[in-house]
């Protein structure tokens, strides 16, 4: 069983994990609890290092990820959206073995490089709250710095307090209020990490 769990969570191998506790959580079948518990272990032991890959992934893989994680997105036409971000956005991915567990797509096509725009960011439910969202954001900020973009923007639903809190940690602040959402921006000349 332990081997099966460590196979499933390949990216956590090598960490000091209480496998018995994990086994009990797995028996309860609640992926989120497993994620939260792992997160606490990892946070206690210091910052977590995950590999964020900046690589363009095919439209079918984007579509599949968004369909599987449909509850994480408010996008209506997933096919059309996947096609658009496949063609026009820069992709950032975190894999667990072959499985995409976190995905972010950003437009870096402003002609004067005034700002990049994070059009989607999501982490699979059972992998949330262990720092992956933060790792994706950090990667986009690093990309923006490297490519000499001045700012990074995004739109977030006013109710999405978890995401807003995460963005604030990375220096994002409100620049505009829309009907049900906020536009946040961070100046990335001086990243906060
Ligand atoms: C927003 C999202 C990408 C964050 O990803 P994540 O991997 O969980 O983020 P992190 O673990 O890096 O950090 C999240 C912060 O929010 C908090 N958080 C995350 N999940 C939480 C939960 N279920 N309950 C309470 N707080 C939570 C964490 O405490 C953390 O802050 P901390 O480091 O100060 O403790 C993820 O929740 C998600 O995919 N949500 C659904 C899609 C979405 O809303 N995307 C944003 C659209 S604008």
Residue 32, pLDDT above cutoff 80: no
Strand-pairing partners, residue 121, are: 104
31 lines ligand 1 (CB under 6 A): no
Question: What residues make up the domain containing 28?
Answer: 2-44
Q: How far is the CA of 13 from the centre of ligand 1 (A)?
A: 22
Start-to-end CA span in the chain (Å): 38
For ligand 1, whether the C-beta of 124 sits within 6 Å is: no
Sheet holding 115-123, edge to edge: 90-96, 99-107, 115-123, 151-157, 181-187, 173-177
Looking at the structure, do residues 26 and 65 belong to the same domain, yes or no?
Answer: no
pLDDT per residue as tens digits for the range 60-87: 999 999 998 888 888 889 999 999 999 9
Q: Same structural domain for residues 35 and 83?
A: no
In a shared domain, residues 119 and 159:
yes
The response to whether residue 163 sits with its C-beta less than 6 Å from ligand 1 reads: yes
pLDDT at 184 over 90: yes
Domain assignment present for 51: no
Nearest CA to ligand 1 atom 41: 72
Whether residue 38 is found in the same domain as residue 110: no
118 lines ligand 1 (CB under 6 A): no
Lowest mean pLDDT among 12-21, 51-60, 81-90: 12-21
**Same domain assignment for residues 69 and 19:** no
Residue carrying structure tokens 């004067």: 112
Task: Dig out the tokens for 46 from the structure.
Answer: 């210091």
**Residue 54 maps to a domain:** no
106 and 147 both lie in a single domain: yes
Residues 38 and 95 in one domain: no
- In angstroms, the CA 136 to CA 160 distance is 18
* Whether residue 82 is found in the same domain as residue 121: yes
Pocket test for ligand 1, best of 121, 162, 170, 185 (most atoms within 8 A of CB): 162
What is the CA 162 to chain-centroid distance, rounded? 12
Q: Are residues 63 and 40 in the same domain?
A: no
In this structure, what CATH number is given to the domain that contains residue 170? 3.40.630.30
Shared domain for 155 and 77, answered yes or no, is yes
User: How many domains does one find in the chain?
Assistant: 2
184 lines ligand 1 (CB under 6 A): no
> pTM for this structure?
0.81
- 65 in the same domain as 38: no
Mean pLDDT in residue range 49-62: 92
């Amino acid at each position: 069983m332990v081997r099966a769990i460590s196979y499933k969570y390949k990216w956590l191998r090598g960490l000091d994990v209480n496998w018995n506790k994990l086994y009990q959580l797995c028996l309860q079948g609640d992926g989120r609890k497993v994620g939260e518990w792992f997160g606490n272990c990892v946070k206690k032991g210091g910052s977590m290092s995950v590999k964020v890959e900046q690589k363009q992934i095919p439209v079918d893989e984007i579509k599949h990820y968004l369909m599987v994680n449909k509850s994480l997105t408010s996008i209506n036409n997933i096919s059309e959206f996947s096609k658009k971000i496949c063609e026009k956005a820069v992709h950032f991915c975190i894999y667990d073995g072959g499985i995409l567990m976190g995905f972010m797509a950003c437009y870096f096509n402003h002609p004067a490089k005034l700002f990049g725009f994070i059009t989607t960011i999501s982490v699979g439910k059972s992998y949330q709250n262990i720092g992956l969202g933060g790792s994706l954001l950090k990667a986009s900020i690093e990309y923006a710095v490297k490519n000499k973009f001045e700012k990074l923007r995004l739109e977030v639903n006013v109710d999405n307090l978890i995401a807003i809190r995460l963005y604030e940690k990375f220096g994002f602040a409100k620049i505009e209020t829309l009907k049900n959402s906020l536009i946040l921006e961070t100046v990335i000349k001086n990243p906060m990490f």
